Amino acid sequence: MSGLALFISVFLACAVEAVEATTIVLAAGTARDWKSALLGTGAGLGVLGVIIVAIGPSISSLPMNGLRLFVGTLLLVFGLQWIRKAILRSSGYKALHDEEKIFQEELVAARKAKEGKRFGVADWYAYTLSFKGVLLEGLEVAFIVLTFGTIQHQVTLASIAALAAVLIVAVSGLALRKPLARVPENTMKFVVGIMLTSFGIFWGAEGAGAIWPSADAYLFAIVPFVTVVSLILVRLLKAKKSKTSINVKVPVGAELTELDELDAESVLEDKGFVKIVKDFGFFWYDFLIGDDLIGFAIVIAALEGTNAMVHSGHNAWWLLPLAVAALLPINLFRVTSK
């Protein structure tokens, strides 16, 4: 992957997460108390920094094939979650992501929450809302930077791209004191989903032992392949929806990876250490697997199959792309048929 492609991929992915985190912080500061919201933001960034320092060296110390397999698997699972939601939005089965609406909902929830002062913080709710929003969205940014940067030996460039995205979004949001509703976030999420899925296919297959026909240049074939499959599915689902005229909803749990779409008061309210541990554990389960355990199992099976065929003397680089092309329709038509 060229340095420019790496920069663009990381920048777009991190910009999406930054928009969501900024919306949460703006809602907390506007409806409650700016000082408490900014303190929560700073605390979230601090904890995030500690996590990066703790896990960064562990990731970079993995053997290259093991690293490619690990990163490829996570990117593929993560990317498929993004691309599935993007296809559902584009085909009309799911409402488009509306930051203005989300901002207003966060404002209402924040204004209804009880006031309280703890540990010297004037507004504990604003602090907690900002802290968790920044930490959870920031973990996804850190994951993108560490995985993309480490596997390409360009952590510095990936970090610069992420920092640029976060700064541009945060400064713009704070300067305008409003959500970045004009940012084409739905299009960005579609592009990022395609890129993450494509890189996941490429690195996952390499980690499983497969050799691509044209080495790194084959990425220029994988990206169009995933794009074409996605666009075909959008057209098929649009036709399906127009014929049935049924407003099919995505099952409960499909959106839990997006913190901004949860009920802020019920989820972010501080209810003790056990609640925090449960929320943290659920975040990682949802981050890695989401609501699609079957899809996760298919990805793992395809990687195991690739590895088994490579060891038997067959360069099965084609198995993972075919598995993804089969997995997406299965998941999407299963969801939209309920």
pLDDT tens, N- to C-terminus, the chain (338 residues): 567 777 888 888 888 888 888 888 888 778 778 888 888 888 888 888 888 777 777 766 767 778 888 888 888 888 888 888 889 888 888 876 555 666 666 656 655 666 666 666 777 778 888 888 888 888 888 888 887 887 777 888 888 998 898 888 888 877 766 666 566 667 878 888 888 899 889 989 998 999 999 888 888 899 999 999 999 999 999 888 887 754 444 443 343 334 333 333 343 444 555 666 676 677 667 766 666 677 788 888 999 999 999 999 999 999 999 999 988 898 888 888 76
Structure confidence at residue 60 (pLDDT): 65
CA-CA distance, 301 to 320, in Å (whole number)?
Answer: 10
CA-CA distance, 99 to 104, in Å (whole number)?
Answer: 9
Neighbours of 227 (CB within 10 A): 17
Structure confidence at residue 79 (pLDDT): 85
Burial class (CB in 10 A: 0-12, 13-18, 19+), 286: middle
Q: Please report, for the chain, the start and end positions of each structural domain, with discontinuous segments joined by +.
A: 3-336
